[in-house]
Amino acid sequence: MKIAAFLPKLGDKLHKTAYEAITAAHQVQALVGGDVVGFAIDVDQQQLERTAHYGLTRLIVAEHPLLANTYSPSAFAKVLHQLASSQGIDILILPNITYGKELGPRVAVTFEAGYIADVTGIESQNGELIFRKPVYAGKAIIAAQLKTAKKIFTIRPNIFTAKAAEAVASLNIETFTPELSEADFKEKRLSITRSTGKLDVAEADIVVSGGRGLKAPENFKLIEELAEVLGAAVGASRAVVDAGWRPHSEQVGQTGKTISPNLYIAVGISGAVQHLAGMSSSKVIVAINKDKDAPIFQVADYGIVGDALDVLPRLTAKLKEVLHKS
C-alpha cells in the first residue's frame, strides 16, 4: 500500500495536526503494510525537517510561484490530486481541520477514491481497513468500510497523538512542481488573520467552559481568569451563546464545536444532551455545578458541587499558588 499524509500549514508553520497525520499513517502502515510519504504545499525546509522527529522518511513538497503564501480550496485540491496521482497513492490521510475537511472530499471526487471524515480509530480485518467515526456529535460511533480501492480519510485532531520517533529519521525531501494556472484558483484568499492571544476551543489542550450558572455575561471574567491560569481556551454552552453572552466561535456542543481536549472543565453547565455530545470524548472531565443531580456529573471524572461564582475565585487562586510554585 502507498500511504500519504497531507501536512497542512497554518500561518508559517505546519499545523500540529500534520504530525498527527504522520502518526495515523504509520498506524495504517502497521495494519496493512506499505510505504508512508508526506505531502506538503508551499512549506519551508526548516518546518519540513521537523517531521523527521516523528519518523517520516520521505516527503514531497509542492512548490509553484502561484502557491506562495496563499490558500485556495480548488487549487490546493488540484495540487494534492497531482501529488497523489504521481505517487500512485492508495490511501490519503488528512487532518480533519478546515483545510482537510474541504480538500479531502474534492480530491476524493477527482481521484475516484472513497471518503470518510473525522475518523477516531483505524483497524483492519482481512487486510481491509475499518474506520471508527463518531456520529450524531459523538452520541454514537460507527465502524465502517470504504468499498472503493482508493481511500481518503480525515482524522479528528487530538486523537492520534503525534508520536515522536525513538531516533530522528533520515528524511528525504523532494520537490514537486504541479501544473497550475491562475484559473485554477477559483477562490482567491484576500487575507488571513491569526487571532492573537486567544486560544481556540478546538485547538486547546485544556478548555474551561461556562454556562447559565455564571448568571450574567460579566461573570465570564471568572472563567477567563481560570482559563488563563491553566493556559486554557474559553468555551461556552449553547444557552449563553444564544443569549448573546459569548460568541458562537466558543460554543461547545452539537451545533458548536465537538472537541476532545485533555481536560475539560464545565462550570455552571447542566449538561444538555447536545452539550454532552460536543465534549464527552474529552480525556478528563471536571464539572462544577450547584445542582448535584445535573446530568453533567454523570460524565464527569471529578465534580465540585457548589456555586460557580463562589467556587471559581477560590479555585483560581489555589491553582495559581500551586502551578506557580512548581
Partner 1 sequence: MNILVCVSRVPDTATKVKVADDGKSIATQNVKFILNPYDEFAVEEGLRLREQHGGSVTVLTVGGQESTDILRTALAMGADKATLIQLANPDSYQVAVNIAQYARNHSFDLILFGRQSIDFDSFQVPPMVAQLLDLPCLTIVSQWSITNGTVKAERDIEGGKEEFETTLPLVASVQKGINEPRYPKLPDIIKAKSKPIETIEPVAVEPQLEILSMEIPQTERRHVILGDSDEDLEKLIQLLREEAKVI
Report the C-alpha gap between 233 and 226 in whole angstroms.
Answer: 10
Shortest separation between residue 322's beta carbon and partner 1, angstroms:
6
**Binds partner 1 (CB under 8 A): choice among 6, 39, 76, 99:** 99
Applying CB under 8 A, the span of 21-29, 44-52, 60-68, 132-140 interacting with partner 1 comes to 132-140
Does residue number 13 form part of the binding site for partner 1 (CB under 8 A)?
no
Contact positions with partner 1 (CB under 8 A) in 189-218? 189-195, 199-200, 202-203, 206
CB of 296 to partner 1, least distance (A): 11
Residue 162 near partner 1 by CB under 8 A:
no
Sheet containing strand 35-41, strands side by side:
114-119, 151-155, 91-95, 2-6, 35-41, 58-62, 172-176
Q: Which of residues 23-82 bind partner 1 (CB under 8 A)?
A: 71, 73-74, 77
Considering only 58-66, 85-93, 174-182, 312-320, which stretch makes contact with partner 1 by CB under 8 A? Answer: 312-320
Q: 215 burial class (0-12, 13-18, 19+ CB within 10 angstroms)?
A: exposed
Among 101, 163, 169, 173, binds partner 1 (CB under 8 A): 101
**135 φ/ψ angles, rounded to the nearest 5 degrees:** -130, 165
The alpha-carbon radius of gyration of the chain (Å, integer) is 21
Out of 69, 86, 124, 148, name the contact with partner 1 by CB under 8 A.
148
Say how far apart CA 209 and CA 207 lie, in whole Å: 6
Which 270-299 residues touch partner 1, going by CB under 8 A? Answer: 272-274, 277, 280-281, 283-286, 292, 297-299
Residue 164 sits in the site that holds partner 1 (CB under 8 A): no
Spell out the residues 6+ positions from residue 16 whose beta carbon is closer than 8 angstroms to its own: 157, 162, 203
Type of residue numbered 89: I
CB atoms within 10 A of CB 145: 13
Choose between 168 and 284: whose C-beta lies nearer to partner 1.
Answer: 284
What is the distance between the alpha carbons of residues 120 and 11, in angstroms, rounded to a whole number? 26
- 140/168 with CB nearer partner 1: 140
6 contacts partner 1 (rule: CB under 8 A): no
Angle at 141 between CA 136 and CA 144, to 5 degrees: 115
Residues 216-245, one symbol each (x = binds partner 1 by CB under 8 A, - = not), give --------------x---------------
